[in-house]
Structure 1
Amino acid sequence: MKKKMMALSMAGVFAAPVVAIAQGTNLTLFGSLQAEYATVNRDGQSSQALIGDDTGRSKMGVHVTENLGSGFKVKARAEYGFNTGAGNLGGARERWVALAGDQWGEVKFGRVQSPFKDFAGGMTIDPFAYTTLQAAGSGGTMTASANGLGAGAMGFVNSAIRYDSPKVDGFSFAGLLMPGDSNRLDPANFIAPSGGFPGSQTNSGGEDGEWDFQVAGKYDTSVQGHYFGVFGGYSRDNVSTRQRISQGLTNNEHVWRGGASWSWQNFKLNGQYENINNAVGAATCTNQAALGDPATGSLDSRGQCNSAMNMGGDGNLWFAGGQYDWGNTSFIAQGGMSHAHATALSGKRETSQFTVGMIHNLSSRSSLFGGYQRVMVGSGASDFFRDMNIWSAGMRHNF
């Protein structure tokens, strides 16, 4: 009898968290697993192929929501990304806590995505996002800044506050502020343990370069079966004292973005334009977007960062795409161009690309995808930038 009572008591202890979830707190385990066979053939060198996911789609995480009543909620999220074709444990993605209200929106605190990535354009209009065929990075028609302020697959902003408004009469907006005042948050201050060159740019902000921010807004409506949407935004990356001294930068980075979407029945069109002045973060690129480490300048990496501007220089990028849905299959054609203006230290560079492919949904959670991308680099670029042919076929499952 005592053993039965003890067993019942232990069961009650372990059941307590479940009861708490049922009484207003909900915890969701989510993730995505993807593997693709992708071949990258850069002119003048042998083809390089792998089976895996080096673009940053595969992830696993938890999302928690607690209902406080009166329309208020507390939310929390933590997720990690990994490569299905490798044995490493992966890297940190989003990590934040948030306070949300039905009437006024949501405020997040921590490591977040930028509005240029998941709110206004960016990866929201690229059906091949998080694949080797994506428009950011090697495709070179969207900013993929390693400081997290662009549309890079694994680009996140540390030490940030982000606000997302509710939608009112079709209008909504989002804003991000990175107020951190710390040398460690300045990517130009990071030096490898063995000395030598600064490490790759992974964060925004830093000493005297903090208070970076980004704002974006959008409007969408439906008229007689036609969907129309427009969006725009502004991003500012402030130059730090160390960047002024070591890199000779004198001006802050300014990025303006605008775009639109239209869909009717099975057809969909998207377009986006970005204008960049005094590139700081926009002169870098995440490893996932570039399919390798562009900082090494090595011809051994699978890709190249065609979306990056010259440090301290101006430039622009445009992207356009069309999609037709036939049953469970989407046929996609898209392309664009990036133009990095010349500076005193670097020549101008123009890169254009077009992509054709398809996505077939096996279910609401599983899909197959594949296609071809051609990247063409104009004259004047360094030997690291070359024309490329990319073939990809892969499978994805979301849970």
Structure 2
Amino acid sequence: MNNKLISIVVTGLLASSIIKSAFGTNVSIVGRIQAEYSGINIEGFSTQTTVNDPTFFSSWGIRAFEDLGGGFRVVTMIDFGFNTNGGPVGNREMFVGISKDSFGTLKFGRTHSPFADFAGGWTIDPFVYTTLQATGSGGTMIASANGLGSGSYSAVNSVVRFTSANFNGFSFAVLLMPGDASKLEAHLGNVLGGEGNNIGNTGGENGEWDIQVAAKYAMEIQDHKLEVFGGYSRDNVSSAQKRITAVNLKTEEVGRIGGVWSYKNFQLQGQYDYISNAIGAATCSDAAALGAIGEVTTRQCNTAMNPGGNGDIWYAGGQYRWGNTTLIAQGGMTHANNTDSLESRKAKSFTIGALYQLSRRTNLFGGYQQVNVIDKNSPVDHDRSTWTVGMRHLF
């Protein structure tokens, strides 16, 4: 019955695409799929190997636009993520907006944050959406799905986002989340409330007008290319969070700076984030750790600050392109300062690996990552080592 229903829905979508195209709307079905053979060894536990898509890269969606004249057009996107082992489907970006090449794009709905897809973040991580990615368990980039999250596959609910066109190398992005946006998940041992040791009040609920802004400047001199970027994220403390007596929570602020320099086949990239009063974007959510929900001892979230605490995260990496192969080395460190109730913790990581382009849409990847943890809150640090080989295809 379910297979028949899916077939009917897909057939209907394809048919509606043809009909709508006749009225001037351009509709396309897009997607991507990935599988990895990976092994993860956590200190004190046996190595776990799987063939899966643990970072939730795979997705399919519908993209459409309609010309309005005068250079303006309507843009829409509906995107669904899925797991190659048959796991549940999850929502990605879902928005409607208007754009003009000389001005920019204004979106309404559910979109990625500028810290994820505009200024640094996964735009400078060649291993994004693999078990070797810098976010979360990689220990060198903010990774949450909650609040104004910067996780690889996460998006922010109930927002207005504007991304400008490029003006002589300069561009910027602004995201606003109204105060009644839905709360999203954070895996914080009920420190921020919630049910089942999982769901927390870490979204924009009753916290008026959370905001994230970012800007970047790109220039090219002969064979040298340089891009510098910076940003500011403000996740206002909500009324629900203010009622939590275990932690004196305040409005979270994150500042970011970074850049990319490339010369012919060589590239260096890096960024630095400073976090104050972590409550959302820099705390540990399900997007930030590999493993099943509830496996607290084995699910590392090395980018996480202590709830209500301060800290910083830095990331640096280099790439060298050799024919169809890109060789990669990167790493960094997270430092979560102590709070009144929690001790400090650090995570240092390094990653080496390679990407090989079979075609413009298909590549192979593989490598090794080591994360060393110094956690004064735990008698065992649970260091982590990961290896993987995988394949992905875009369609």
CA distance in 2, matches of 1:164, 1:377: 37
Residue 224 of structure 2 is matched in structure 1 by 226
Q: Is the 8 A contact 2:375 2:381 kept in 1?
A: no
Deviation at residue 102 of structure 1 after TM alignment? 2.6
Q: 1:236 aligns with which of 213, 219, 234?
A: 234
CA distance in 2, matches of 1:81, 1:244: 34
Deviations 1:65-109 (A, max 9, x none): 10111000001100111111x223411111000111233211100
Q: 1:202 to 1:227 in 2, by over 3 A?
A: farther
2:394 aligned with 1:398? yes
The structure that has the greater radius of gyration is: 1
Residue 104 of structure 1 is matched in structure 2 by 103
2:370 aligned with 1:370? no
Q: 1:185 to 1:17 in 2, by over 3 A?
A: closer
CA distance in 1, matches of 2:134, 2:306: 19
CA distance in 2, matches of 1:284, 1:16: 42
- When the two chains are superposed, the root-mean-square deviation of aligned CA atoms in Å is 2.2
Deviation at residue 224 of structure 1 after TM alignment? 0.9
Amino acid at match of 1:363: S
Residue 321 of structure 2 is matched in structure 1 by 325
Q: Is the 8 A contact 1:39 1:391 kept in 2?
A: yes
Q: 1:379 to 1:21 in 2, by over 3 A?
A: closer
CA distance in 2, matches of 1:243, 1:166: 37
Q: 1:264 to 1:201 in 2, by over 3 A?
A: farther
Deviations 1:202-242 (A, max 9, x none): 862012x1311100000001101100000000000011111
Amino acid at match of 1:290: A
CA distance in 2, matches of 1:151, 1:385: 25
Q: Is the 8 A contact 1:255 1:275 kept in 2?
A: yes
Deviation at residue 293 of structure 1 after TM alignment? 5.1
Q: 1:212 to 1:77 in 2, by over 3 A?
A: same
Q: Is the 8 A contact 1:316 1:338 kept in 2?
A: yes
The share of aligned pairs that are identical, in percent, is 50
Deviation at residue 35 of structure 1 after TM alignment? 0.2
Q: Is the 8 A contact 1:160 1:180 kept in 2?
A: no
Deviation at residue 384 of structure 1 after TM alignment? 6.9
Aligned to 1:111, the other structure's residue is in SS state strand
Residue 138 of structure 2 is matched in structure 1 by 139
Structure 1 segment 261-276 matched on structure 2, within 5 A: 261-276=260-275
CA distance in 2, matches of 1:271, 1:329: 21
Aligned to 2:240, the other structure's residue is in SS state helix
Q: 1:210 to 1:29 in 2, by over 3 A?
A: same
CA distance in 2, matches of 1:202, 1:167: 37
2:61 aligned with 1:48? no
Q: Figure out how many residues of one structure are paired with residues of the other and give that number.
A: 375
Q: 1:304 aligns with which of 300, 304, 308?
A: 300
Residue 170 of structure 1 is matched in structure 2 by 169
Deviation at residue 328 of structure 1 after TM alignment? 0.4
CA distance in 2, matches of 1:298, 1:273: 28
Amino acid at match of 1:230: V
Deviation at residue 284 of structure 1 after TM alignment? 2.7
Amino acid at match of 1:131: T
Aligned to 1:18, the other structure's residue is in SS state helix
TM (normalized to structure 2)?
A: 0.90
Structure 1 segment 56-205 matched on structure 2, within 5 A: 56-84=56-84, 86-181=85-180, 184-185=182-183, 199-201=198-200, 204-205=203-204
TM (normalized to structure 1)?
A: 0.89
Point out where structure 2 has 5 or more consecutive residues left out of the alignment: 1-13
